[in-house]
Chains A and B, each alone.
Chain A
Amino acid sequence: MPTHKEENDRIALLQGTLDLLILKTLLFGACHGQGIARSIQRQSEEAFFVDHGSLYLALQRLEEGGLITAKWGVSENNRKARFYTLTARGRSELTAKTDQWSRLTRAMNLILSPSNKEA
């Protein structure tokens, strides 16, 4: 499995999750990178700090994977901005990943929670 090391530890955490978070954010409509970063920070009650450099690379990766598309447009403040939209594939990937994620967290919880009743 892709075990990244040292300084990449944070990315390792993000690799599985950041993609998921981006997809989730875009479910509510097209958005530019800065908006996505803000949105994730806000929604996670500032628990996640999104590394902006990594975010744009993740966006690029998702775009190349065909999960999102991008188009230059104009922001609410009349700034030129690149807007990302979820594709159909991105939508189904989001469903699958969410499902997987909940199974994983459930399994992790079962093991880690101190009151392990199912053993």
Chain B
Amino acid sequence: MPRDRRNADDFADEIRSHLEMEADELESEGIPRSEAERQAKAAFGSRAAASERFALRHRLLWLDNLRQDVRFGIRMMRRNPAFTVVAVLTLAIGIAASATVFTWINAVLLEPLGGVTAPNRLVTVETVTSNGEWVPNSYPDFIDFRDRLKLFDGIAVTHMAAFSVGKDDHAERVWGELVSGNFFAVLGVKPEAGRLFLPSEYGDTPGAYPVAVISDRYWRSHYAADPAVIGKTMRINQHELTIVGVAAAAFHGSIPVTSFDLWVPYMEQSVLNGVQGWMLRDRHDRNMLGIARLKPGVTEEQARGELKALADRMAVANADVSEGMSATLMPLWKSPHGPQGLLLGPLRILMGVCVLVLFIVCANITNLLLARATVREREFGARIALGAGRARVVRQVMTESLLLTGAGALLGVAATPWLSHALRYLTPPGPTQSLVSTDIRPPHFSVLVFTAGICLVVGLVAGISPALQVRRMETGPRLNDGGRSATAGRKRNRLRSVLVASEVALALVAMVGAGLFARSFQQTLHVDPGFDPNHVLLNQFYLSTNGYSLAQRREFCRRLEERMTSTPGVTDVAYSDGVPLGFEPSWWEELRIEGYAPRPNENMNIFRNVISPGYLPLLHIPMVEGRNFTDQDNENTPAVMIVNQAFVQRFLPGRNPIGVRVHGWGDWFRIVGVAKDSKYHYLGESAPAYFYVPFRQVFREDMNLAFYVRTQGDPDAVLSTLRAQTRAIDPGVTVFDAAPLKEFIGASLYPQKVAASLLTIMGVIALVLAAVGLYSVMAYSVAQRTQEIGVRMALGAQRGQVLWMVIGRGLALTGFGLAAGGALCIAAVKIIAGVSFTNSGMGTHARLLGDGSMDGAVYLIAAGILMVVAMVATYLPARRAAAVEPMQALRTD
């Protein structure tokens, strides 16, 4: 319609013209001009009021209507409590689930770090290997970056570490970060008490900065938030460090989803862990995660360009260790390190499932509203006949739909913080459990915005078809007859049938998804890891935190092995650096293999473990060729190495591996044996090349110590012996978290576990919602047919026939839904099967979905369950309908 915006002046002109004409007319009736003008004005009333109403005509009417609609909507909700409760609960479940998942995504992806200033200008700095993989940085590289980059407001590095805090015999393990001195300055963290590191502590002198910053959480739990603790000393790894301050409460460290409690300058490594000075200067020692702050106005592109140019120059200057290396930067959430890398894939899929559940919710609400729109047809008809605009009635329907979703959203948001907390229960067991942020943050602003958005979308989607129904309604027949016009009814029935069928389809997709994940999780549980984790007790020692030198550590291992071996019930004892299928990243070494010419840019960083001779036999990993390490492979004999089958296949195909020389750690090793492939990082992985070197030949200060004890019976039974023997060797060494290996390796199943359990929950929610929807719609459509059923029975139809007629229709609809859902599933599974997740910067890929993606049983079971639900949902109302006395049914209208 042509709607020229008419301005207020034009309207005022018209009023003036009116007054003149009115005065003219009065004058012509014989009234003097001045009196005529006065009367004209009086008759008109307040011109100002009219102008005002003109100016506000849209807004006032709109507001007024809205107020009416809302009031009326609330009255309708109160009049149908059952309807309202079902609708609001359905919505609350759907909205709470999506808001929770969004909260997690927000925490992991959108606001990874709390308590930092302007996080949008923070980036993570990654060294890039010659074949394009991301790895952490070395400290010397950091110094170059720090001193030469111009487009950054600082770059900091950090290294996650376990500290042993307290006096010898009751030491406690505390997780923290060894950081460059400028760490807090770069991140923009404020102190809660005391101070953070000063510029005078930013230097690179080993052992010169005996200071520490603690977390607010630790300050409260260990010092009752006493400000007097600032300036006191704290015994960390048997060395006294001065607590200089407490970090802001919102700050949990630089790795998303984890909470650290202690920050110590990296240069204290040499004192705390006995790391020698040369290792701090070793460009090979790439174990620092880099975080940089872009200068204001500098784009990511510009900064990346500068960083890359510098790193490329450095690679040339340090060609011996860094040839072909480069560096890049990326948003924090893309960082491949830390748990968020593991959570990314599952969270994305989870979001998809949430959308699915929301669709089901929409379908339910639409159904309910449609059913009610039919009941209220006469009311709507009357309103339209009495002059209410059709648009006005449509708006009324939309308002009611939005009111419902609003109420649901409120309830949902109230439940969200409680649900978000559940992420904690899904974190892997083992050392990192205590790391995951446990504070329940109140719903974030962005979460609230997201929920409001969802609520709006659901309200509109659910309200649109009932509203359209009203729009299409003809006014005439509505007032005159009972309100059940045959043609409109059929159209509406078709719409409702489509809704029921689509609801079944969506529920099937959600359930099959959940089923497939649960299945593939189960399958991976049964995958042979290639070693035998049963009856093995594992304990990780952090001897460097006890101030042990290398020689002392070796001696400790030797003596503990000796003592444990003589314990009754113990069959094997071994130790190593890395734990297979552990949560912590595996380490690698850059190798040169005699007789193998690497392709240009081939990544020659190969995963490795440093083991004692007992390791392979203890884990029942068989040798396929050559020999195992022995006690004779020590500091004084030639360096030896054992490789796995995949190593041989990749580097030595068709060659006899035994005797081949391999270069690493600045030394030549001779391959003496080939071990069978096993799983190293993920049960789902396909065997990567891997090698072992003996503990006594390679063990360095920065390595860990995992101690294994194989027992005849329950491994927990030897725990007390292990504690006692450890204490007997050195009362200062504490057994912190010994656990059966079987439990420990559960961490490697973390992503699948999260995906499987969350999806199972979502699957159940989807099923319940679909069942409620199915039931309400079936019950309603049967109730609508009560009269018809009465007629049929009056004409002699049997109860059974009537029952069958009603149920048959329901099952037909369900069948359609199942067919459509099945097709959808197959398409969706194809997409999801392509999603993989990454373990470490070295890019070990594992699939989320196992081979079972075409698993027929899951489809059949899901379809079967839905069929049963549909049966019940139709049977109950059908029975009620068939039980009605024909005469009574005929009378009802």
Contact A56 B11 (CB under 8 A): yes
Q: A81 to B47: give the CA distance in the assembly, Å.
A: 17
Q: Does B2 contact A (CB under 8 A)?
A: yes
Contact A64 B1 (CB under 8 A): yes
Q: Which residues of A contact B14 (CB under 8 A)?
A: 33, 56, 81-82
Q: A56 to B22: give the CA distance in the assembly, Å.
A: 14
Contact A79 B54 (CB under 8 A): no
Q: Which residues of A contact B392 (CB under 8 A)?
A: 2
Q: A65 to B392: give the CA distance in the assembly, Å.
A: 14
Q: Does B891 contact A (CB under 8 A)?
A: no
Count chain B CB atoms within 10 A of each CB in A33, A34, A69, A80 and give the residue with the most: A34
Q: Does A109 contact B (CB under 8 A)?
A: no
How many residues of chain A get a CB closer than 8 Å to chain B's CBs? 30
Contact B386 A1 (CB under 8 A): yes
Q: Which residues of B contact A10 (CB under 8 A)?
A: none
Residue of B nearest to A8 (CB): B64
Q: A81 to B50: give the CA distance in the assembly, Å.
A: 18
Residue of B nearest to A69 (CB): B2
Contact A16 B57 (CB under 8 A): no
Contact of B17 among A61, A82, A103 (CB under 8 A): A82
CB distance from B683 to the nearest CB of A (A): 66
Given the known A-B contacts A34-B21, A52-B18, A57-B53, are A100 and B388 also in contact in the complex, defined by CB atoms under 8 Å? Answer: no
Contact A57 B50 (CB under 8 A): yes
Contact A79 B386 (CB under 8 A): no
Contact A53 B50 (CB under 8 A): yes
Given the known A-B contacts A2-B392, A64-B1, are A77 and B21 also in contact in the complex, defined by CB atoms under 8 Å? Answer: yes
CB distance from B76 to the nearest CB of A (A): 13
Count chain B CB atoms within 10 A of each CB in A1, A33, A52, A100 and give the residue with the most: A1
> Quick one: which of B341-393 are within 8 Å of A by CB?
382-383, 385-388, 392
Given the known A-B contacts A34-B18, A77-B21, A80-B17, are A100 and B385 also in contact in the complex, defined by CB atoms under 8 Å? Answer: yes
Q: A52 to B44: give the CA distance in the assembly, Å.
A: 5
Q: Which residues of B contact A2 (CB under 8 A)?
A: 65, 68, 383, 387-388, 392
Q: Which residues of B contact A79 (CB under 8 A)?
A: 17, 20-21, 24
> Quick one: which of B788-810 are within 8 Å of A by CB?
none
Residue of A nearest to B45 (CB): A53
Q: Does B487 contact A (CB under 8 A)?
A: no
Q: Does B287 contact A (CB under 8 A)?
A: no
Contact of B22 among A1, A34, A53, A82 (CB under 8 A): A34
Q: Does B3 contact A (CB under 8 A)?
A: yes
Q: Which residues of A contact B43 (CB under 8 A)?
A: 52
Contact A53 B44 (CB under 8 A): yes
Residue of B nearest to A80 (CB): B17
Q: Which residues of B contact A80 (CB under 8 A)?
A: 13, 17
Q: A60 to B856: give the CA distance in the assembly, Å.
A: 66
Q: Which residues of A contact B18 (CB under 8 A)?
A: 32-34, 52, 56
CB distance from B577 to the nearest CB of A (A): 79
Q: A102 to B56: give the CA distance in the assembly, Å.
A: 33
Q: Does A15 contact B (CB under 8 A)?
A: yes
Count chain A CB atoms within 10 A of each CB in B25, B50, B382 and give the residue with the most: B50
Given the known A-B contacts A32-B21, A34-B25, A77-B24, are A56 and B68 also in contact in the complex, defined by CB atoms under 8 Å? Answer: no
- 1/0 per residue, CB under 8 A from B, across A3-37: the answer is 00000000000011000000000000000111100
Q: A2 to B47: give the CA distance in the assembly, Å.
A: 26
Residue of B nearest to A63 (CB): B6
Q: Does B634 contact A (CB under 8 A)?
A: no
Contact of B385 among A81, A82, A104 (CB under 8 A): A104
Contact B382 A100 (CB under 8 A): no
Residue of B nearest to A52 (CB): B44
CB distance from B866 to the nearest CB of A (A): 42
Contact of A51 among B13, B20, B45, B65 (CB under 8 A): B45
Q: A1 to B25: give the CA distance in the assembly, Å.
A: 39
CB distance from B660 to the nearest CB of A (A): 89
Q: Does B433 contact A (CB under 8 A)?
A: no
Q: A10 to B278: give the CA distance in the assembly, Å.
A: 95
Residue of A nearest to B47 (CB): A53
Q: Which residues of A contact B20 (CB under 8 A)?
A: 79
Residue of B nearest to A78 (CB): B24
Q: Does B49 contact A (CB under 8 A)?
A: yes
Contact B54 A57 (CB under 8 A): yes
Q: Which residues of B contact A52 (CB under 8 A)?
A: 18, 43-45, 50
Contact B15 A56 (CB under 8 A): yes
Contact B57 A61 (CB under 8 A): yes
Q: Does A75 contact B (CB under 8 A)?
A: yes
> Quick one: which of A70-108 are within 8 Å of B by CB?
75, 77, 79-82, 100, 103-104
Given the known A-B contacts A56-B50, A57-B53, are A1 and B388 also in contact in the complex, defined by CB atoms under 8 Å? Answer: yes
Q: Which residues of B contact A61 (CB under 8 A)?
A: 57
Q: A8 to B1: give the CA distance in the assembly, Å.
A: 28
Q: Does B46 contact A (CB under 8 A)?
A: yes
Q: A1 to B50: give the CA distance in the assembly, Å.
A: 25
Please list the residues of chain A having a beta carbon within 8 angstroms of any beta carbon in chain B.
Answer: 1-2, 15-16, 32-35, 38, 51-53, 56-57, 60-61, 63-66, 69, 75, 77, 79-82, 100, 103-104
Q: A38-B25, A53-B50, A82-B14 are in contact. List 17 more A-B contacts (CB 8 A).
A: A1-B383, A2-B65, A33-B14, A34-B18, A52-B43, A52-B45, A53-B45, A56-B15, A57-B54, A57-B57, A64-B3, A79-B17, A79-B21, A80-B17, A81-B21, A100-B475, A104-B386
User: Which 7 pairs of residues, A with B, have the shortest CB-CB distance?
Assistant: A66-B1, A53-B50, A16-B387, A34-B21, A52-B44, A1-B383, A34-B18
Q: Can you show 17 pairs from A to B with CB atoms below 8 A apart?
A: A1-B382, A2-B388, A15-B387, A16-B387, A32-B18, A34-B17, A34-B25, A53-B46, A53-B47, A53-B50, A53-B53, A56-B14, A60-B6, A75-B21, A82-B13, A103-B479, A104-B386
